[in-house]
C-alpha cells in the first residue's frame, strides 16, 4: 500500500515538472560565432527578466544560423554579415520573410604576435597578405623581421567560409583593394589556416610568431597585439575599440545583426526589445562590443 502511494506521489511530481517545463516558451537562437558569447550572456540574464522564457543559444557561424532561419528551425538567426541576395531569395521561396535587426557594432581586429614589430597596417597591405596573388609571402615583403619567425614566412590565419567574419573581411579588405587595383580579384589566397571560431584565431596567433589573423574585438587578450589600420598607406591609422566601432571611424567596423522571420511577435518581440534596452546593450558593451546608441552602464 505504501509502495503504491509512493509511486503515485512520484508520478504526480513527474507530471507537475513535465507540465512546468512544457509551459515554458523556448526561443531558438543560432548563428554567428562572433555573437555567441554575448548571445549566451543575454540568454542567461533574461532568465531573471522572464522566468517563463528560455533562450537556447548555439553558434556554428552566420551561414549556419541563416540556413536554420531559412529552414524555419530557429526564431532568431545571429549574423555578423548581411544576408546575401540568394539567401533572401531562398528564404522567401521557403515562405520566410527575413527581417534584419542591428543589435550592436564590432571592430574586426587584425591580430599579430606580441613580438611582431609592426604596429600599423593599411588595407592594401592586408590585401597583399590575404589576397590571391597579393605578393606578400614573407614578413620581409613588408620590410620587417619578426623575432622567433625563423623562416620569415607569413602564417595567414583566416576563418571558415561559412563565417560572417570571413565574408565581411573579404568585403571590407579584399573587395576594397580589388576595386583600387591593389589585387586582381577579391579572393582569398590559397593555403590560409581556416579556424572554426574567433577564439581559435586569437589562440593560434598568440602562440605563433609568424602569424596574422582577424577576429572580433571582444576576443582580444593582453597577450596579443592589435594593428592600427589605415585606409591608405601614409594616412593616419585608427585602432580598434568600442568607441571607433560605434562611430564607424575604424575601417573594418561592422554591424552585428539578428534576423527574424517577419516582424517579431510575442515572446520573441519582448526578448528583442530587451536586447535593445539599456540593460541588454550594457551587457553587449561589457562583452567588448559597441552598443547601437549611447547607454549609461554601471
The predicted pLDDT at position 24 comes to 82
Instruction: Write down the pTM of the prediction.
Output: 0.82
Which positions ≥6 away from 168 have C-beta within 8 Å?
Answer: 80, 81, 108, 252, 254
Query: What pLDDT band is residue 16 in, cutting at 50, 70 and 90?
Result: very low
Where exactly are the structural domains of the chain? 10-104+257-286, 107-253
Q: pLDDT, tens digit, for every residue of 71-88?
A: 999 999 999 999 999 999
What values do phi and psi take at 96, rounded to 5? -100, 155
Q: pLDDT, tens digit, for every residue of 198-209?
A: 999 999 999 999
Distance between CA 81 and CA 261 in Å, rounded? 17
**Over the chain, what is the mean pLDDT?**
91
Show the DSSP H helices in the chain as ranges.
2-23, 33-49, 62-70, 85-93, 123-130, 164-169, 176-179, 198-207, 242-246, 266-275, 278-286
SS3 184: coil
Name the β-bridge partners of 106: 254
Per-position b or e across 209-223, b if 16+ CB within 10 A of its CB: bbbbbbbbbbbbeee
The predicted pLDDT at position 234 comes to 87
Task: Check: CB of residue 177 under 8 Å from CB of residue 123.
Answer: yes
Q: pLDDT, tens digit, for every residue of 214-232?
A: 999 989 999 999 999 999 9
Provide CATH code, domain 107-253.
3.40.190.10
Find the mean pLDDT for residues 115-143: 97
DSSP 8-state code for residue 52? T
Domain 10-104+257-286 has CATH 3.40.50.300: no
Lowest mean pLDDT among 34-38, 128-132, 268-272: 34-38
Query: What pLDDT band is residue 10 in, cutting at 50, 70 and 90?
Result: very low
Asked if residue 13 has pLDDT above 80, the reply is no
CA-based nearest residue to 209, from 262, 150, 250: 150
Asked if the domains 10-104+257-286 and 107-253 are classified in one and the same CATH topology, the answer is yes
Amino acid at each position: 500500500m505504501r509502495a503504491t502511494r509512493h509511486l503515485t506521489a512520484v508520478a504526480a511530481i513527474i507530471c507537475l515538472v513535465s507540465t512546468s517545463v512544457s509551459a515554458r516558451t523556448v526561443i531558438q537562437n543560432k548563428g554567428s560565432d562572433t555573437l555567441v558569447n554575448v548571445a549566451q550572456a543575454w540568454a542567461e540574464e533574461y532568465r531573471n527578466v522572464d522566468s517563463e522564457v528560455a533562450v537556447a543559444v548555439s553558434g556554428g557561424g552566420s551561414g549556419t544560423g541563416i540556413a536554420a532561419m531559412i529552414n524555419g528551425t530557429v526564431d532568431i538567426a545571429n549574423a555578423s554579415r548581411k544576408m546575401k541576395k540568394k539567401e533572401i531569395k531562398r528564404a522567401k521561396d521557403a515562405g520566410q520573410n527575413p527581417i534584419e535587426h542591428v543589435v550592436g557594432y564590432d571592430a574586426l581586429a587584425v591580430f599579430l604576435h606580441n613580438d611582431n614589430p609592426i604596429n600599423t597596417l593599411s588595407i592594401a597591405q592586408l590585401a597583399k597578405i590575404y589576397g590571391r596573388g597579393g605578393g606578400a609571402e614573407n614578413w620581409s615583403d613588408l620590410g620587417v623581421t619578426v623575432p622567433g619567425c625563423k623562416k620569415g614566412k607569413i602564417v595567414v590565419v583566416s576563418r571558415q567560409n561559412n563565417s560572417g567574419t570571413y565574408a565581411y573581411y573579404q568585403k571590407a579588405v579584399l573587395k576594397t583593394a580589388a576595386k583600387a587595383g591593389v589585387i586582381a580579384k577579391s579572393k582569398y589566397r590559397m593555403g590560409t589556416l581556416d579556424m572554426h571560431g574567433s577564439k581559435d584565431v586569437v589562440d593560434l596567433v598568440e602562440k605563433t610568431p609568424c602569424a596574422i589573423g582577424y577576429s572580433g574585438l571582444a576576443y582580444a587578450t593582453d597577450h596579443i597585439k592589435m594593428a592600427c589600420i589605415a585606409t591608405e598607406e601614409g594616412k593616419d591609422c585608427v585602432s580598434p575599440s568600442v568607441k571607433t566601432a560605434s562611430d564607424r571611424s575604424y575601417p573594418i567596423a561592422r554591424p552585428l545583426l539578428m534576423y527574424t522571420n517577419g516582424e517579431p511577435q510575442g515572446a520573441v518581440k519582448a526578448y528583442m526589445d530587451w536586447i535593445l534596452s539599456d540593460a541588454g546593450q550594457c551587457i553587449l558593451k561589457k562583452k567588448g562590443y559597441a552598443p547601437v546608441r549611447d547607454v549609461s552602464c554601471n
